Amino acid sequence: MARRAIETLELPPPGEEVKAFTPVEAKEIVMSLQEPAVFCNMAFEWPALHWNATYLAKLLSGKSIPFRIGMKDMGTAPLFETECSYVEATLEEFLAWSLREPSCSSGPFSGYESCKYWAYADYKYIAMLLEDNPEQFKDVRWSDFGFPGRDGKDSTLWVGTLGANTPCHLDSYGCNLVLQVQGRKRWHLYPPEDSDFLYPTRIPYEESSVFSKVNVVNPDLKRFPQFEKAQSHVVTLNPGQVLFVPRHWWHYVESIDPITVSINSWIELDTDHEARVEEAITRTLICAIKSADQLSTSDSWLNPTETEVTSHKTNLQYLNAAVSGYLEHQKINKTEQKYPEPYNTEGAFEDSHKRRKVQVDAEKGFKLMPCESNLATIKTKKVGEIIFGPNLFKVLPQSQQTNPTGTAESDCKENEGHLGKLHCAGTVSITSNDSGAFADEKDPRSRVSSTQAGICTNDLLDCVLNPQVISLVARLLLERARFV
């Protein structure tokens, strides 16, 4: 169907643009691909492409937002969010600081030299940022990818400076669509089957995120020798392009231009029902064990995105609700299989929040955030049926890149400072492992303590909370629950 639609498409009149894929075709691709890919010519008419940092500063009208601060010179250990500094500032103050204007000498960034530090307003819910301007939600049009009604209120905003980065991690829930608005970002992606080589950890703990102990752009191979076996897929995302990150793909993201702006939306999947059980098990175990650890008070194990340590009673309620939700979903699936639709495959949920957090109210008690399924079923494609070309690029493993220099720059041209239309003719930017980061041999986080004796609580947790262990526990628990 998709092939015929594209082959019979008439050329548009001069000056007019045509979407690369229809919403149905785009959603089929998103629901079928198991490897990352970049869409071109799918967002050229989105008003959100005008959301550069200067425009956003005016739109937010002096609203202060949290910025994460880190050093540009990186050691061999990842810089987790628990180890960053934080400031509250407006985007005007952020821009003045990044441009090194004299007016920022006494502002919130005054303690940080912009030549040495980066700043990142990451993971900011647009629904909260623009609650006074809800009409702007329509500037983001994920409906073009087959998700009707999904717009800015279902998305998050990321604004950073050169060097701003997110530590390597995988998202427990869903898949990810990312629109690059201003500047460029370099994505380092690793497939789920490489998880053992990424040395997964749940410390710092954040629901829905499994972090890697490895600084993937400057790895300490003495500590993490298996990382050499990991197969990296590296792509530079340009303004106007949309990156698709499949379920459970590891990713490290870094800003490589002076100012970058991105918008993303997480698409929940049917598989998230089981993932929610796994996350509930993880939360229950880590909160119980760390709360009993006398040393945990001085250990920054809770990510700043997690507001509190929930009680064991609350966590068990969360776990029971997740198990019940999974079993109910299984019943619905069995019923639907008796009367199948023409294409009855894994669908997506109309909810973009990556984290399915526990909601606790002192008076009302426990509540699990609802999750309503999108009842529409989607036809999926075999990989061989997906048409790759100028409008859809695979993000290939670095070992398969043919350019001897490791870099293949795209022909995408920017108009007026990353605004307007982009024309992709050729290839997407694929970059070698030249990260621009510098090792800091004096960084205490990059060393292994030779004086540490025995096994500590975090060593135990790295084993107990290993995703493979948690997955096995979840299956055993669900099997048990079926007969209770």
pLDDT digits (tens, 9 = 90+) for 250-289: 999 999 999 999 999 999 999 999 999 999 999 999 999 9
pTM (two decimals): 0.83
Secondary structure of residue 243 in the 3-state scheme: strand
Among 28, 37, 80, smallest CA distance to 377 is for 28
* pLDDT given for residue 102 in this prediction: 82
Q: With bands split at pLDDT 50, 70 and 90, how would you rate the model's confidence at 170?
A: very high
Of residues 399 and 62, more confidently modeled: 62
pLDDT cut 90: percent of the chain above it: 67
* pLDDT given for residue 297 in this prediction: 60
Cα 228 to Cα 46, 194, 210: the distances in Å are: 40, 10, 20
Q: How many Å is the maximal CA-CA distance in the chain?
A: 73
* pLDDT given for residue 47 in this prediction: 98
What distance in Å separates the CA atoms of residue 322 and residue 174, rounded to the nearest whole number? Answer: 16
Hey, what are 174's tokens?
């869903």
For residues 430-439, give the mean pLDDT. Answer: 41
Cα 18 to Cα 36, 148, 458: the distances in Å are: 23, 19, 53
Secondary structure of residue 463 in the 3-state scheme: helix
For residue 370, count other CB atoms closer than 10 A to its CB. Answer: 8
